[in-house]
Structure 1
Amino acid sequence: MNKRARRALDTWKCPIDQWCFSSADSITLSKPDGKTNDRVIIRIQPKKENEERGVVRMRFGDRVLSFKVEKPEKKMIGERKRLGYDPTRKINVYSSSKKTKTVNFKLRLNELLCHGFLGIFNPLQFSMHWTERITNINTLFIWKITKTFESIWLVSRTDDAFSVTEKTLKFLLEDVTADKADLDLRCTTEGFKYVTSREQVSKIKKLVLWKSDFLQFDNFIHNLNRPYLKCAVPSWRAINVILKEWINGDNDVIVDLALNEINNAFMNEAVAFEGIETTPTAFNDDQLEERTGMSHSYWDRNDKLDIERTRDSRKATLFLQRGCITLFVWTDDALEKIRNSTGPRYRFVAVEN
C-alpha cells in the first residue's frame, strides 16, 4: 500500500493517543479530551453462556474471538468523577480457552487483539506494563508492532536477569530505538563479547546495563558509540583503564558515562586514579547542577574532580560515589549553555594549580 492510500485509510480510524498493554488482563486505549479522558477498556474474561446481545465476533485464522461493547455499569461518583475519570465504553473479550490465565496465552491473545484493533484505531503511542514472569523476551509481541519507544524497562523482579541469546542481545542494543532503556540481561551464548561500532551512533539515547559480563572492555572508549551509558565494570583497575582511554583518546560521542564497580565496593582512589592527573573541579555547584541535572545539596566538594583530554584539552568532571564514578564531559554545547546563562548564580570559578 502506498503512503497516500495509507494516509487516506488512517483518516477513517479512531485516533488514540495511548495504547497500553497490561498483564492485569486488560488493554487500555486512551485519548485525552479536555477535562475528561475518553477510554476504551478491553478486558479479557471467561466466556459467558447466552451472551449474544451487542456481541461482535472477529476471526484471526482459525481462532474466533467475541467482543461486546457496553456502557459502564456504575456511574462515576466522588473523587473519581472530580478527577475527570470517565471511561465512556469498554469492550469485553470472551474466550472459551482454559488457558486464559497463562502468560503465553495472554501474550498471544494480546497480539491477536492488536492485529484486529489496529484496523479500527490509529494510536500515536504504545506502552506495555507486564509484571508477570516472561522467560523469553522474543515472545513479546510488542516488537512486531513497533521498535521505537520513549522508555524501556526490562528488569526482573527477582535476582535473575533475563537470559538472552547473542542474536536477541544485538537486537535490543542495535535495532530498538528509545530515549532511555534499563536492561537487566544475561547472555547465554558462551564466550560472546559485545563490541559497539563507532560507525553508527546508538539508537538508544540513554542506556543502563544492570549487568555487563557480555561487554568487551578492551578499547572500550574507542569503540563506544553511546552518548549516555551506565554500566557495571569488573574492577577499579578496569575503571582506571577506561578513564585513561578517555584522556588519551578522541571519542566525541560520549557525553555522560557512569561506571559502577561490579561489587559496589567502597571507592578505591589509589587504584582508580593511578597514573591519572586530577584537579579539584573548576566549576561551581550551580554550573554542575545545570550540567548534570542533579541537586548540589547532595554533593560534597571533595567528591568532584576534573580531568583533561590530552588531544584537545577537553575537560570532564568526575563525580565520586560509593562504588561508582560518573564522567560528565564538558562538550561545546554544555560550555556554551553555562556561558549564556543569565543571573548571578552562573559564574566560572578559577582554580590555581
Structure 2
Amino acid sequence: MQRPLTAAALTASAALLAACGGGGGPDADKAKDTEPPSAPAGVTAQAGSATSVHVMWERSSDNKAVTGYEVHHKGRKVAVVPTGRTMVDIERLTPSTAYSFTVRARDAAGNLSGPSVAIPVTTPPSTPDDGTPPTRPTALRGTVGGSREVTLSWEHATDAAGVTAYDVYQADSRVHSVPGTATTARITNLRPGTVYTFTVRARDAADNSSPDSPSVDLTTAPAPGSGPSTAPTGLTATARKGGVVLAWTPPDTGAPVKEHQLFLNGRFATTIVWGAQPPPGRVRYTFTVTDEPGTRYTVKLRAKLPDGTWGDFSAQRTVVVP
C-alpha cells in the first residue's frame, strides 16, 4: 500500500526541486530580471561622408550583463550592435540632411535602457564627381594617460572639397572617428601594459579615404603588481621581391628566447625556432610571399617565456607586397 507523503517529506521534496532548479532555468532567471541597463553616456555622432554618420558611445552597466545596443533615429531603430562594440556607421543617409540619434542598451532578459541624450548631426552636401582622396595626415604622435587610455594628435590633411572626418585605426581596425576640424583623439578602454600601433586616415564627403598616416607605437602603463613588458621591441618589416624581412629585439626575460610566434593579418602563421643558441641582440627572419603585388600584410610577434607561456605582443607593422 502506498503511504501518503508527510509534511516533512513534502518540504524535503520542495527543497530538492529548488536545489535541482525545478521550475527554473535560464528563462526563469531572465523573467526575474526586470532591472534595465543604464542609459549609454558620452554619445557622439560625426558625419563621415555625405551619406554616412559614425555614432559612438560609452559602455553601459547592468546588474547582470549588457548584451547589446540599439541605435535609434527619432524613435526608429536603425542599427543593432553586439556587446563589446561601442560604435557603428549609419549609412545610406541623405546628403545635406539633419539627423538625431540616440542609443539604448539591452540585457539578456530583453530589458532596454532609457534612451541616451539625443545627438544632432547634419550630413554635408554630396560631391558625386570627387574621386580624389585627401592627403595623408602627418606628424602623428601620442601620449599615454595611465594604463587604459592614450591621446593622439596629428597635422591636418588637405582635400579639394574639404576633410569631413579623421578615422583612427588600431591594428587595421577603426576604433575612433573625430570631425574633420579636429586634430586630436582620446582612445579609452585599452588594456594595461599593452603595445598599441595607431594610424589615422582622413575622409572627405565623397567617402574617399586617404592613405594611412605614419604609425605611432604606444605602450599603456602596466597594471599594479604586474611585471615589465614581455613584448619584442623595435619590429621592422621590409618587403622585397618574393619575401618579407622582419627584424626585432627579443624581450629581456633573464634567459635566451628560443621561440617566437608570427601572426599575419591577426592570425597565427608559424613558430620561429632558433635552436639551442639564439643569435644575440637583434634577430632577423624572412618569410616567403607569393601573393599578387599590392597585397597588404599586418605582422606582429610574441616570444615564448622561460616558464613556457607566451609573452606580450609586439607592435604591429603593415607591409605591402611590391
TM-score (norm 1): 0.28
Larger helix percent: 1
